[in-house]
Chain A
């Protein structure tokens, strides 16, 4: 389980960003794709541990799970995929190696109280 390592990186990054703003962070918004290799529930649990006794202690972690989107070379269009186990176009069945969205592991925004 590497979510704790990721939570520690997140807490560091959020503090670094908040340092420029001033004020107290009350929520941290992240975006996670199905190919990021992160289990949201495990990240939530790890976040509580990682933020313990830091300025982020008690802040909320808000996780947005982004869908997997590939590019179909036959349709020449982006297509959402339901499964990370079958990379082919849901419309025409063409294999779709190009991943446009789904690897995100991103700190999107901070909610700061002043």
Chain B
């Protein structure tokens, strides 16, 4: 005897497990007052060079650390470690993106409350990382001026899920005939109001505005942590 199948409503996010881990991470980052920035881009956009400069410039004044996702090698971690900041590599094998659980595992043993900034460099890929929340405070999408002004239109999802667009290698903008207006129009078309900064890790151009944005983020992260601590203290009294 056959029965009609029953339809059972579920309505849950398919990546529920990742979202749960990401939510836990975000809470830990908030409690510790650490400002967490993830970087996504296509391969070769200059994430590692930018991060090398970022760590080197922040390291004397702030406690910084980085997690670096890579498919196969540990070269990026070795490069970044030269800044003196603690760096850990997440080797993903064939997986084309980082997931929250990989970040959680990589953080094992690190005292987050002894950090001001944590940077997470995703695997070079403008498609897959878009679906995975890592618990970060801010997601930066990195686009080099040598890639073409219409890249945001080709990869709208990653731009739409990011908070800030960083145009890198701006020292090459003139030699490659980069059209700033077209690039900014593309970005604004897929993510109206998106904050956009231009930097050159090589010459240092634009780095001060970029670092100021990071420091402002840290101030707000510390404010949230302090308010949370005060609320807990208030609740206990």
Contacts and interface: CB of A to CB of B under 8 A. Distances in A.
A6 B189 CA distance: 28
Given A88-B192, A97-B193, A30 B14 contact: yes
B28 to A, nearest CB: 22
A85 B14 contact: no
Contacts of A106: 11-14
B99 to A, nearest CB: 8
B233 interface: no
B160 A35 contact: yes
Interface-centre pick from B8, B17, B95, B161 (highest chain A CB count, 10 A): B8
A105 interface: yes
Interface in A55-114: 84-88, 95-97, 99, 103, 105-114
A113 B14 CA distance: 22
Interface in B129-174: 130-131, 153, 156-158, 160-161
Taking residues whose C-beta sits less than 8 angstroms from the other chain, chain A's interface range is 35 or more
Contacts of A27: 5
Contacts of B156: 35, 84-85
A95 B6 contact: no
A56 B13 CA distance: 18
A88 B185 CA distance: 12
A105 to B, nearest CB: 5
Given A88-B192, A114-B3, A37 B127 contact: yes
Interface of chain B: mostly helix, strand, loop or mixed: mixed
A38 B160 CA distance: 14
Contacts of A14: 10
Interface in A1-56: 1-2, 5-6, 9-10, 12-14, 17, 21, 23, 26-27, 30, 34-38
A109 B8 contact: yes
Interface residues of B, number: 35
B6 A114 contact: yes
B111 interface: no
B190 to A, nearest CB: 6
B35 to A, nearest CB: 23
28 contacts: A2-B97, A2-B127, A5-B95, A5-B128, A9-B16, A13-B10, A17-B12, A21-B6, A35-B156, A35-B157, A35-B160, A37-B127, A37-B131, A37-B157, A37-B158, A85-B156, A86-B190, A99-B160, A103-B161, A105-B14, A107-B13, A107-B14, A108-B10, A108-B11, A109-B8, A109-B9, A112-B8, A114-B3
Given A21-B8, A86-B190, A87-B189, 6 more contacts: A1-B128, A9-B17, A10-B14, A27-B5, A107-B12, A114-B6
